[in-house]
Structure 1
């Protein structure tokens, strides 16, 4: 389904129906829950720490050659985010 189709479909919803739809998606989708939680309470420091841990985990699970090739790239991302 295209974004335009979804948009047209949502135009027919009233405020209560939209709230219920968002709550249903929040309940059923881990990704939606993460996005909406951050939207409601944007704790940037916590999210940065979370992504730093994920980046380390991803790098450590790769082969040594892949890890070394991407280590500098990941470190640049972490460093640039830390400075903000």
Structure 2
């Protein structure tokens, strides 16, 4: 019976995730060479996790910049949208 429970749980989680294919989140640039971005106390991502728009390079950012990120469904890729700013 535990296998059936796990299968139902997996299906339910997949259904919820399918309804929100993208999540907006924020990160802080920790280093630029190589690019690392801290999303939380425990989660620091390296350049392999990022998709960038054409013309965006690591020189576009400096340590401490706050970034607006779009997390793709599944959490394995993040689109760097822009730097967070104020009005």
Q: Which has the higher strand share?
A: 2
Larger radius of gyration: 1
- TM-score when scaled to structure 2? 0.27
